Amino acid sequence: MNELVALIRSPRRGVALVLATGRLPVALGLVVLATAVAAVSAARFAGDVPVNSVLYGPDRSPAITTLIETLGVDRAAVISYLIEQVWTAVVVVTAFSPLLVWILGATAVQAAARLEGIRRPFGPMFVFFGYATALTRIPADGAAAILGSGKAAGAPLAQLVGTLCLGWLAFLLWRAIETHYALAPMRAAIVLLIAVVVFYLVPLALIIAAAIAILVAAIVLDYVPGL
């Protein structure tokens, strides 16, 4: 665990140490711990922000109110029904997000480096991503689990901690890319940007587009089982 302590105290020295001596079993254990904390945070979120509060009642989401005003009650009911069906799945995915960030993130960075014509062993970056994911997600999800989400009094502070930890993760990854792939700072930033845009934002945009297409089809077909 000396590598993790070094990473906390001095990112530059810690990044090099984790890349050189980090161990996969330790990375796996840290990510499992981060996933456990994320599961507690997801459970707290599900309690603080039940789907009924988002869709119905006086405290419903402004987006739902806008949908009702724009589409009418019947068509908005279709969207509300679909949101209800996927809400639990979203919460479950959130609980496992550290594991997903670790595997998908390390793979995305390696693929982005390959696109730039850079070839280095995948193992050190994979291990480093496990350390960095745990180091940044545990405080972020821990804050959300303790302080709450939605309209909880501590939710704004939890969101601030989460944002800072996300920035910290990006900084650590930038340093790791710079060190592991022997790149200049600007080129390391470009590799990180490619990883985020090509392997995260573009697939996310496609998923959102597919979801919108499903919603449009459901509205056109008036698909609301049980109604």
Kindly report, residue by residue over 90-106, the tens digit of the pLDDT: 888 889 999 999 999 99
Angle at 90 between CA 135 and CA 63, to 5 degrees: 110
Residue 225 predicted with pLDDT over 90:
no
Q: Which two tokens stand for residue 34?
A: 């981060």
DSSP 205-221: HHHHHHHHHHHHHHHHH
Given 3-state DSSP classes, what are the helix, strand and coil percentages for the chain, each rounded to the nearest 5? 85, 0, 15
**Predicted confidence band of residue 219 (pLDDT cuts 50, 70, 90):** low
Stretch among 42-46, 143-147, 210-214 having the lowest mean pLDDT: 210-214
Q: Which two tokens stand for residue 221?
A: 């077909």
Residue 71 CA to residue 222 CA, distance in Å, equals 12
When pLDDT is averaged across residues 160-165 and rounded to a whole number, the result is 95
- State pLDDT tens for residues 182-195: 999 999 999 999 99
Residue 227 predicted with pLDDT over 70:
no
* Residue found by looking up tokens 């793979």 in the block: 107
